[in-house]
Amino acid sequence: MQEKDIYGYAGKILRVDLTTGRISTEPTVRYAREWLGGSGIAQWILYNEIRPWVTPYAPANRLIIGTGPLNGTLAPGASRVTADSKNALTLGVGSSNSDSHLAPELKFAGYDHIILQGKARKPVYLWIKDEHVELRDAVHLWGKTTWETDEMIKQELNDDAIQTLSIGPAGENIVRGACIIVNRGRALGRCGMGGVMGSKNVKAIAVRGTGEVKVADPARFMKAVDEIRKRFEKSDVVREFVKLGTPKGVKDRQRTCNVPYKNFQQLVFPEEAYAKWDLEKLQESYRVRNIGYMACPMHCSRYFQIDHGAYAGLRTEGCQFESVADFAGKLAVEDPVFSIKANTYCNQLGLDVDSAAGSIGWAMECYQRGILKESDADGLKLEWGDAGVVLELIRKIAYREGFGNILGEGCAHAAEMLGRDSNYYAMNLKGQDLYEVLRSTIGWALGVCVSTRGGGHTTGAPGPCEEIPDLDADVAEKVYGIRTVAQPQAYTDKAKLVGYFEQLHRVSNSFGTCHFTTTWFEHSLQGFSELAELYSAATGFETTENDLRRSATRMLNVEKSFNLLHTNLGRKDDYPPQRDLEEPIPSGLVKGFKIEKEKWDDLLDEYYEMHNWDKKTGFPTRKCLEELDLKQVASDLEKAGKLG
Amino acid sequence: MATDKVMFDTKDCTGCKTCVIACSYHHKGVFSLASSSIEIKDWRQEGKFAIVFHKKDEDGYLACDKCQGESEPLCIKYCSFLARDELRTLLHTI
């Protein structure tokens, strides 16, 4: 098939060798049928091109920006862009994902992916305008915040419709939890992609596309789009979500004991702190408008303008619930506006909010318990809820200054460096700081614990569906294949539920579709069959629900194998942190509930068995890999002594 | 002299640009930010979005024909329910 015949996809993958300056393209169709797009294609390229001894910051590592076959079309929620690379925190699979206009813009410019490899001799930024691709000097941008960079590039190129990806000081200083910011307010947050970009001396990528995306069967495609859109128009759950955005989670998480208060010591806000979260009133005071991205029917983002109080003058997009959990939850800063402020500050410096709050939360708990003293922390008193201290620590992390140099390694590595039995308080999975509360919701906890990228809830964790108290068991069975979905503390069939979402998330992460527009968020929204119909109509590659599920299972096995070849991760790393196994939930609706180690053992057995992986080690078996046509992967694992 | 394009400030627009690609689909059966009668001016650093309707073919943009042949203008059909009424009002004024 020629590039001109390709539908859905833009048709080309752009490869930029920063060491030599060579810029080339290759046809996307080489990967499209097997690996779908986005993260699926990127992870297969990483598997084949990075050897296990390559470190995240070595020039031989790749950073791959990815779009999917639905980006740039009217497919509901197709507004996500991905960044994949070797994970800076776990040294295994790295993948992050963000809403923005970047993905459609890149496709309109003619590219599905950008592969960055090598290292530039001095700071550069990549400028893409359709066929024109150029590495430009970025010495004058080095040291600037992401907001300044976005603005300066738009001025320099005299086009305010340009979409940018950039790193801030955190990425330049190779902070483990540095992220990539899209324009100003959206983050490719997890897995340390900002430091990888910084290690390559790439300050930014700027994109402008004036081309088009064609679909193979426009009438069939639009019919599928219209049928799915009707569901959004009818859903009360969607309307409520549009009204409050993800901060709606404050109410839901308080009810279900899912708030990581004071570094996960308590799982609800204390009454007086919770009382400050009157979401309707906060929106009335500060929200200027909702913000949405291309083809999104949810518009969950917001633009805030703070005109009074300590942060008067702040104008920004944001923040999502994650920042609330991080700053009001983990660090106990009670002023709701502070979550917006801290989120903004992290975005400007190019720092992942979960990582920043993860290591600061660990430090504050160590201080609470006398493990850390003022003298360890550059004279700072690490008191819970001290907004000034939190902002100062964020700054120190981004610039790797003093105590921030240790925190900038993420809580797991920081605890290793400090010793003093502080690792119990380092809430992480596989080395990456956690945002997710695990103790109260078993399916969610399993999905987070077995996630190949080290925690995170977008590669297998069941979402809000597990917390809906009135989800009918018959509906649950029809949609998700099990009846116990809405029983958060039940273990029964939760491995199967995670299996469903491991597949759905991978399909979405490959298509460029937001999880909030799928059955992850609400059972009536789009699932495999709807996504298969959109994909078939868009690309002309006739694809069934089962085809998609098989592709996703192949992706999972490739990721799992990457982790085994690059790290010593294994069954031991699929358990919740020690605190979650030892401490019952101290208060709230499910007070006293505790994850039982023996039950978790059984759950992991069931999960590995479902995947045809060895129960003792968690390694994929030859039979499993050969059934998935991954014979070479089986041989690679065998050579490494990691075949189950 | 009649103006060739008109720009309006918006209050409810979310800046998603879905209307822009819906419009390109009406004109050419493809999705594009360029082959459209609509531009969204994105000044998100100030929390503002403006909408521009092109009334004449120029610079790659195509003249708005109010979606002749469609049951309703596609920009309105695919707009968020948050901003649909505003868009309908603006489209009627051109």
Q: Which residues of A touch B11 (CB under 8 A)?
A: 289
Q: Provide the pLDDT confidence category of residue A1 given band limits of 50, 70 and 90.
A: very low
In three-state form (DSSP H/G/I as H, E/B as E, the rest C), the secondary structure along A450-481 is CCCCCCCCCCCCCCHHHHCCCCCHHHHHHHHC
Residue with token string 């991905």: A82
User: What pLDDT was estimated at residue A244?
Assistant: 84
Q: Whole-angstrom Cα distance, residue A203 to residue A141?
A: 7
* Chain A residues with beta carbon closer than 8 angstroms to that of B24: 212
CA distance B10 to B85: 11
Residue type, A512: G
| Per-residue exposure over A438-475, b if at least 16 CB sit within 10 Å of its own CB, e if not | bbbbbbbbbbbbbbbbbbbbbbbbbbbbbbbeebeeee
Average pLDDT over residues A592-620: 97
Show residues of chain B in contact with A214, CB under 8 Å: 29-31
Neighbours of A274 (CB within 10 A): 17
Tell me if A295 and B30 make a contact (CB, 8 A cut-off): no
pLDDT tens digit sequence for B14-33: 999 999 999 999 999 999 99
Beta-carbon separation of B21 and A295 below 8 A: yes
Amino acid at A412: A
Domain A3-208 in this protein, CATH class = alpha beta
Give how far Cα A156 sits from Cα of A101, A138, A160, A182, A355, Å: 20, 11, 10, 18, 32
**Lowest model confidence (mean pLDDT) among A145-154, A246-255, A449-458:** A246-255
By 3-state DSSP, what share of chain A in percent is helix, strand and coil, each rounded to 5?
45, 15, 40
Q: Which two tokens stand for residue A193?
A: 């992609």
Mean pLDDT in chain A? Answer: 96
Measured distance between the N- and C-terminal CA atoms of chain A, rounded to whole angstroms: 38
- pLDDT recorded at residue A3: 53
Please, which residues have CB within 8 angstroms of residue B44's CB and are 6 or more apart in sequence?
A183, A184, A185, A291, A303, A317, B15
pLDDT of residue B2: 58
The pLDDT-based confidence of A467 (bands split at 50, 70, 90) is: confident
Distance in angstroms (rounded) separating the CA atoms of residues A41 and A69: 11
pLDDT of A360 higher than 60: yes
- Beta-bridged to residue A613, according to DSSP, are A620
pLDDT greater than 90 at residue A305: yes
CB contact under 8 A, A72 and B42: no
Question: How many domains would you assign to chain B?
Answer: 1
pLDDT score for A618 = 97
The number of CA neighbours under 13 Å toward the Cβ of A515 is: 21
Of the segments A122-131, A232-241, B41-50, which one has the largest average pLDDT value? A122-131
If you write DSSP's letter for every residue of A319-364 in order, what string do you get? --HHHIIIIIIIT----HHHHHHHHHHHHHHTB-HHHHHHHHHHHH
Q: Does B14 touch chain A (CB under 8 A)?
A: yes
* Residue A116 in this model has a pLDDT that exceeds 90: yes
What was the pLDDT predicted at A448?
Answer: 98
Per-residue pLDDT, A284: 87
Q: Which residue's structure tokens are 């550059």?
A: A378
What class, spelled out in words, does domain A247-433 have in CATH?
mainly alpha
- CATH classification (class only), A442-639: mainly alpha
How many angstroms separate the CA atoms of A431 and A92, rounded? Answer: 10
Nearest CA in chain A to B20: A294
Is the pLDDT confidence value at A499 over 60?
A: yes
State the residue range of the domain holding B80.
5-93
Contact yes or no for B94/B8 (Cβ under 8 A): no
SS (H, E, C) A133-175: EEEEECCCCCCCCHHHHHHHHHHHCCCCCCEEEECCHHHHCCC
Q: Give A295→chain B minimum CA distance, Å.
A: 5
Would you say the C-alpha torsion A584, A320, A386, A278 has a positive or negative sign?
negative
A420-437 pLDDT, tens per residue? 999 999 999 999 999 999
- When pLDDT is averaged across residues B43-52 and rounded to a whole number, the result is 92
My answer on whether omega of the bond before B16 falls inside 30° of 0, hence cis, is: no
Q: What is the least distance, in Å, from the CA of A82 to any CA of chain B? A: 19
Q: Which member of B12, B30, B42 has the closest CB to residue A212?
A: B30
Q: Are A520 and A466 in contact (CB under 8 A)?
A: no
Query: Please, which residues 16-75 of chain B have a Cβ atom closer than 8 Å to chain A?
Result: 16-18, 21-22, 24-25, 28-35, 42-47, 60
Percent of chain A residues topping a pLDDT of 90:
91
Residues in chain B with CB shorter than 8 Å from the CB of A303 are 44, 47
A93 Cβ neighbours under 8 A, 6+ residues apart: A43, A87, A452, A453, A454, A559, A562, A563
Which member of A74, A183, A291 has the closest CB to residue B18? Answer: A74
Q: Which residues contact A158 (CB under 8 A, 6 or more apart)?
A: none
Let me know: does A95 contact A191? Beta carbons within 8 Å: yes
Residue whose pair of structure tokens reads 């100030």 in the numeric block: B46
pLDDT at A468 over 80: no
Question: CATH number of the domain that B51 lies in?
Answer: 3.30.70
Span A171-220, pLDDT tens digits: 999 999 999 999 999 999 999 999 999 999 999 999 999 999 999 999 99
Structure confidence at residue A539 (pLDDT) = 98
Q: Rounded to two decimals, what is the model's pTM? A: 0.98
**Amino acid A280: pLDDT:** 86
Confidence of residue A642 (pLDDT cuts 50, 70, 90): very high
* CATH 1.10.569.10, chain A: domain bounds: 247-433
Are the beta carbons of A88 and A57 closer than 8 angstroms? yes
The partner residue sitting opposite B21, judged by closest CB among A74, A288, A291, is A74
B15 → closest Cβ in A105, A212, A291: A291
Q: Is A27 helix (H, G, I), strand (E, B) or coil?
A: strand
Q: For residue range A17-55, what is the model confidence (pLDDT) as tens digits?
A: 999 999 999 999 999 999 999 999 999 999 999 999 999
Considering only CA atoms, which of B74, B82, B77, B58 is closest in space to residue B10? B82
Judging contacts by C-beta atoms under 8 Å, the chain B residues touching residue A184 are 44-45
pLDDT band at A318 (very low <50, low <70, confident <90, very high): confident
CA separation for the pair A334, A311 (Å, rounded): 14
CA-CA distance, A222 to A498, in Å (whole number)? 31
pLDDT class of A289 with cuts at 50, 70, 90: very high
Number of A:B CB contacts under 8 A?
A: 101
Minimum CA–CA partner of A184 in chain B: B45
pLDDT at residue number B1: 45
pLDDT of residue A4: 58
pLDDT band at B44 (very low <50, low <70, confident <90, very high): confident
Tell me which of A512 and A240 has the higher pLDDT: A512
Report d(CA A285, CA A314) in Å as an integer: 13
A59: which DSSP letter? T
CB atoms B30 and A214 under 8 Å: yes
